[in-house]
Amino acid sequence: MALDELRDELDQIDSDIIELFEKRMVIARRIGGYKKLKDLPIRDRERENAILKRLESKVSEEVKFGVEPLYEKIFQLSKEYQMEVMNNSSYNPENYYGLIGEKLSHSKSAKIHKLIGGYDYEMYPMDSYELENFLRIREFSSMNVTIPYKVEAIKYIDEMSSLAKEIGSINTIVNKKGKLFGYNTDYYGFKYMCDKAGISLRDKNVLIFGTGGASKTIETLVRDEKAKSIVLISRRGENNYNNLEKFKNYDVIINTTPVGMYPNNLECKIDLGIFENCQAVIDIIYNPLKTKLILNAERRGIKTATGLDMLVSQAYYASQLFLDKDLPIESVESTIKKIKQEMLNIVLVGMPGSGKSTIGKMLAKKLNKKFVDLDQLIEETTGMSISDIFKEKGEGEFRNIESELIKNVGKENGLIIATGGGTPIYQENSNALSQNSYIIFLDRDVNKLERKGRPLSKDIESLEMLYKDRYNIYKSIASKEIKVLEDMDKTLELVIEGLIEDEIISD
């Protein structure tokens, strides 16, 4: 490997390290705030030693020497950062906003609220036994509430809006001079989501999957929108997944369950083939951007609505309650756009030798994103070249290895991914790539395709046949088709122009 390529790899690693370091320090600041609220000491040497021991067990002997000095420095910086919070007289917990829930590590809410309301917004993951004490102390201005506390938190609220009372769950708490008021902005977020997608619920037969807190909110909205009938599907109730045929004539399907949510991507328990009159499918999951249920609906030409619109719009309505003022509604769409740009992978598909890896590396460097070459990942994982895998294990085993890796890569966000030539021809691979990605088909003249070291590109006749078989597959999965020029810099310019045109990146 050339020196420049090695340095490029180091540059990417350094970018990843500094991004993770920034995230670590942000969390350290939150911990400082928490320790101030709880009157806890800054240093926890027992935890530090446990971290060092765990990390040393994860590295090879030749680099173990560096773990302790590296992390002692990180611990010191974290403690200094926490001390700033604890000694800062301007730190006022009553000006704090955030999210209460059980598992919040993948939440986008902090970024969303910063974009909409301009304030800092903290994550407060807690167990149920901590919830009562947190809400009893009341040292915060406003909080959002998520799974699994939307119903439980009601016990500690002084007053609720009439809508929240009707629904029986809250997702927003506002502290007004020591008195806690509960609201439900998920209701308005779901309405925004439906309106944006052009989905009408009036006079429709609506099937809602799930019976939890989110289901209660959505059932109320659907009823208020004058649906003809509403049926809730649960795992063990009278109406369940085993008797869906009873509802084959229903018009709208709404998923409020976590089935298909990260990290269990591409799970789906609903066969849309059952529903002969289905006009719309709505899934409130936002990670991934498109669940398998949504992908299946799109493939059938059914109108869809996805969870990111609801997540951002409910945050907008919550922000207005937090700040007690009107905010521009335009901030909803501008925030959706920014969050989607951060989450989307950019995937390059096309024939073997079409320039996917070359353009992918150039694009990743240009956009300062991580690059993943699936063929290279397969070789690193197996310790074999692609040609040797085909020769020794056959194409079938190669495709199995490829599919397993794509399942994991497709879950991630913000990557530039170069696929193998045959990757998209399998539906499971197509789903894994499409769930979080903007896909570009790099279409290169067959006569210019590189053939060296490519098992299925032995001669021009084989290539022409392969191209004919795959062209429509590439085209159907892609959001943009780019004709590859022999000047790769100019091809990159075309790719960048296409990404800006479709608002995948900002100009």
Confidence category of residue 6, pLDDT binned at 50, 70, 90? confident
Of 24, 58, 87, the residue at which a domain comes to its end is: 87
Residues 320 and 173 in one domain: yes
Confidence category of residue 8, pLDDT binned at 50, 70, 90? confident
Looking at the chain, the whole-number percentage of residues with pLDDT higher than 70 is 96
Residues 46 and 106 in one domain: no
* Distance, CA of 186 to CA of 313 (rounded, Å): 8
Q: Examine the pLDDT at 222 and tell me if it is beyond 90.
A: yes
Q: Examine the pLDDT at 162 and tell me if it is beyond 90.
A: yes
> Could you tell me if residue 432 is inside a domain?
yes
User: The domain that contains 382 carries what CATH number?
Assistant: 3.40.50.300
Confidence category of residue 196, pLDDT binned at 50, 70, 90? very high
What per-residue confidence (pLDDT) applies to 35?
Answer: 76
More confident residue, 62 or 333: 333
Q: For the residues 245-265, what does the mean pLDDT come to?
A: 96
What per-residue confidence (pLDDT) applies to 283?
Answer: 98
Q: Examine the pLDDT at 45 and tell me if it is beyond 60.
A: yes
Residues 79 and 118 in one domain: no
What per-residue confidence (pLDDT) applies to 264?
Answer: 95
Of 67, 87, 107, the residue at which a domain comes to its end is: 87
Confidence category of residue 458, pLDDT binned at 50, 70, 90? low
Range scoring the smallest mean pLDDT among 78-82, 122-126, 464-468: 78-82
Q: Quote the number of domains for the chain.
A: 4
What per-residue confidence (pLDDT) applies to 37?
Answer: 66
Q: Examine the pLDDT at 451 and tell me if it is beyond 70.
A: no
The residue to which tokens 């756009």 are assigned: 337
> Could you tell me if residue 351 is inside a domain?
yes
Q: Examine the pLDDT at 354 and tell me if it is beyond 90.
A: yes
Asked if 155 is an active-site residue, the reply is no
Of 306, 323, 352, the residue at which a domain comes to its end is: 306
Helix, strand, coil distribution of the chain in percent, nearest 5: 55, 15, 30
Looking at the chain, the whole-number percentage of residues with pLDDT higher than 90 is 70
> Could you tell me if residue 247 is inside a domain?
yes
Residues 298 and 176 in one domain: no
Domain range for residue 164?
A: 93-187+313-338
> Could you tell me if residue 325 is inside a domain?
yes
* Distance, CA of 72 to CA of 52 (rounded, Å): 9
* Distance, CA of 61 to CA of 394 (rounded, Å): 37
DSSP 315-374: HHHHHHHHHTS---THHHHHHHHHHHHHH-EEEEE-STTSSHHHHHHHHHHHHT-EEEEH
Beta partners for residue 172, in sequence order: 144, 183
Residue 414 class from Cβ within 10 Å (0-12 exposed, 13-18 middle, 19+ buried)?
A: middle
Residues 446 and 475 in one domain: yes
Q: Examine the pLDDT at 223 and tell me if it is beyond 90.
A: yes
Residue 77 class from Cβ within 10 Å (0-12 exposed, 13-18 middle, 19+ buried)?
A: middle
Pick from 42, 122, 37: nearest CA to 80: 42
Range scoring the smallest mean pLDDT among 24-33, 43-52, 177-186: 24-33
Q: How far is CA 186 from the centre of its chain?
A: 19
Q: For the residues 496-505, what does the mean pLDDT come to?
A: 97
Q: Examine the pLDDT at 193 and tell me if it is beyond 70.
A: yes
User: The domain that contains 319 carries what CATH number?
Assistant: 3.40.50.10860
Look at the alpha carbons of 63, 64, 69, 71 in this order and tell me if their dihedral is positive or negative: positive
Cis peptide before 93 (omega within 30 of 0): no
What per-residue confidence (pLDDT) applies to 454?
Answer: 57
Q: Examine the pLDDT at 368 and tell me if it is beyond 90.
A: yes
Q: Which is the catalytic residue, given 35, 36, 114, 150?
A: 150
What per-residue confidence (pLDDT) applies to 92?
Answer: 58
Q: Examine the pLDDT at 311 and tell me if it is beyond 70.
A: yes
Q: Examine the pLDDT at 1 and tell me if it is beyond 80.
A: no
Q: Are 132 and 86 in contact (CB under 8 A)?
A: no
Confidence category of residue 239, pLDDT binned at 50, 70, 90? very high
What per-residue confidence (pLDDT) applies to 82?
Answer: 80
Residues 474 and 391 in one domain: yes
> Could you tell me if residue 506 is inside a domain?
no
Q: For the residues 440-445, what does the mean pLDDT come to?
A: 97
Angle between helices 427-434 and 386-409 (to 10 degrees): 50
> Could you tell me if residue 225 is inside a domain?
yes
Residues 21 and 81 in one domain: yes
Which tokens hold the place of 63? 């680099």
Residues 177 and 97 in one domain: yes
* Distance, CA of 415 to CA of 369 (rounded, Å): 6
Q: Examine the pLDDT at 88 and tell me if it is beyond 70.
A: no
Residues 183 and 263 in one domain: no
Confidence category of residue 164, pLDDT binned at 50, 70, 90? very high
User: The domain that contains 219 carries what CATH number?
Assistant: 3.40.50.720
Q: Are 277 and 228 in contact (CB under 8 A)?
A: no
Residues 301 and 261 in one domain: yes
What per-residue confidence (pLDDT) applies to 247?
Answer: 97
* Distance, CA of 492 to CA of 282 (rounded, Å): 36
> Could you tell me if residue 464 is inside a domain?
yes
Residues 355 and 488 in one domain: yes
Which tokens hold the place of 463? 């290539």
The residue to which tokens 């119903």 are assigned: 151
Q: Examine the pLDDT at 214 and tell me if it is beyond 60.
A: yes
More confident residue, 83 or 422: 422
Q: Examine the pLDDT at 327 and tell me if it is beyond 70.
A: yes
Pick from 44, 115, 33: nearest CA to 81: 33
Q: Which amino acid is at 383?
A: G
Residues 369 and 448 in one domain: yes
> Could you tell me if residue 106 is inside a domain?
yes
User: The domain that contains 74 carries what CATH number?
Assistant: 1.20.59.10
Confidence category of residue 452, pLDDT binned at 50, 70, 90? low
CA 403 to each of CA 71, 428, 432: distance values in angstroms, whole numbers, following the listed order: 37, 7, 9
Summary mean pLDDT of the chain: 92
What per-residue confidence (pLDDT) applies to 109?
Answer: 95
Range scoring the smallest mean pLDDT among 101-105, 249-253, 484-488: 101-105
